[in-house]
Amino acid sequence: MDFDYDYFVIGAGSGGVRSSRIAAGHGAKVAVAEEFRVGGTCVIRGCVPKKLLVIGAHFAEDLEDARRYGWEIEGKRFDWPTLRDNVLADVDRLERAYQSTLDSHKVETIRGRATLTGPNRVAVDGREVTARHVLVATGARPMVPAIPGADLGITSNEVFHLPALPRRAIIVGAGYIANEFAGILHELGVDVTLVVRSDTLLRGWDRSLADRLLAISTEKGIQFRFNTVPAKVERRDDGSIAMTCENGRVLETDLLIWAIGRVPNSEGLGLEALGLSLKPNGAIPVDADSQSALPWLHAVGDVTDRLQLTPIAIREGHALADRLFGSRRWRVDHDCVPSAVFSHPPLASVGLTEADARNRLGDVRIYTSDFRPMKNVLAGRNERCLYKLVVDGTTDRLVGAHMIGPDSPEILQALAIAVKAGLTKTQLDETVALHPSMAEELVLMR
């Protein structure tokens, strides 16, 4: 059978764009359908613009600390529209760059919502085409609770477009998105309250890091309401928002942000009609090669809900294109993947947490360094770093590394190589410290 395309990709996010480009590089005839903007969550409304807001917000502390370093800065003030518009302009630039990449690799971009109409068949805005292989790379979206008045809140998607900063904000959630936007808005002068369903932040992260972030955030003035579940939301006559919780408490705010998780974008694609069973949360089940139960249908990235991280989606898409159209056969290793929370200060982690290591390995050695960075000492800022190494007591191998403090994600990327490579604590000890630096603590723990 002759097909219109060798490869039809639904979704031009990080995974879809990489897979399209690699497949086209192998000589495949490729098309990608996108209903919104090329670049996906990360580039358009996720990690990239969020990180720029984090950097912009951190100047609040830097300008304050500068006085102790001899700098007198008169008349400083913050203008939200300037930061917002400059960030959005950079998003536009990146979108053009992603589109240019597709064009230069002769990948056809089709604007519109794609659906699967049968085996090897895709429809986009009334036009039906056939493809030898179809990739679903539609990502995920922020979850909104099914309670009365929930639409009075916004999600992380809309934060980047706020016309003005509110006086007060409530963020519902305990994960990385909730803590990141809590830090950003607080630094920019907003009175922030985090509403948490359970009694802990950052489930899945090393507890000592999560506890340290809670202590630092509380010291900064961010408020927390634990064991609190929203029941309904209402708009008051004065324009404010009132959120009634299951415990009867009423919380008032000017801005409500839902940050309670992300759900795969799989509905309305026609997957069930093809006989494909989805996971309870809508994720598409795939094997280690990103292959679905249908031989011609594949999925990568957040829509599979394996690891919702941009670099993972990119690797999954790359490996799939190599397998389908190239000669290289490789699989993405979802084990030992570094991740970060760009809070104030940021967290970074790779490998096993202390709790996981004790459960899995039994014999574990834990090394910690709890210190104040030089910059904070002179600035008079009582904010401490915490570094933790998790070591297999039997083999001396480094199996986990976790840190909170300035530049932690930058430092941890290099340390992730050591964990991935299975280096030992002895090898870290034998490495000469780079002094004076925060990172030297990693080779000085005894």
Is residue 262 within 8 Å of residue 142, measured between CB atoms? Answer: yes
Burial-class residue 98 by CB neighbours within 10 Å (0-12, 13-18, 19+). buried
Count CB-CB contacts under 10 A for residue 366.
Answer: 15
Is residue 216 within 8 Å of residue 373, measured between CB atoms? Answer: no
Among residues 329, 268, 316, the alpha carbon closest in space to that of 135 is found at 316
Is residue 38 within 8 Å of residue 107, measured between CB atoms? Answer: no
What are the start-end ranges of the E strands in 266-412? Answer: 297-299, 339-341, 347-351, 364-371, 385-392, 398-404
- Read off the tokens for 161: 């477009």
Count CB-CB contacts under 10 A for residue 141.
Answer: 16
- Read off the tokens for 75: 């008349």
Given the residues 58, 105, 186, 435, the one annotated as active site: 435
Burial-class residue 165 by CB neighbours within 10 Å (0-12, 13-18, 19+). middle
Alpha helix segments (H runs only) across 188-250: 207-220
Catalytic residue list contains 435: yes
CA dist., res. 100 & res. 123, Å (int): 24
Is residue 137 within 8 Å of residue 300, measured between CB atoms? Answer: yes
CA dist., res. 217 & res. 21, Å (int): 42
Backbone angles phi, psi at 121, to 5 degrees: -125, 135
Helix (H, G, I), strand (E, B) or coil at 233: strand
* Biggest alpha carbon–alpha carbon distance for the chain: 74
Residue entry with tokens 């799939």: 320
Positions marked catalytic:
435
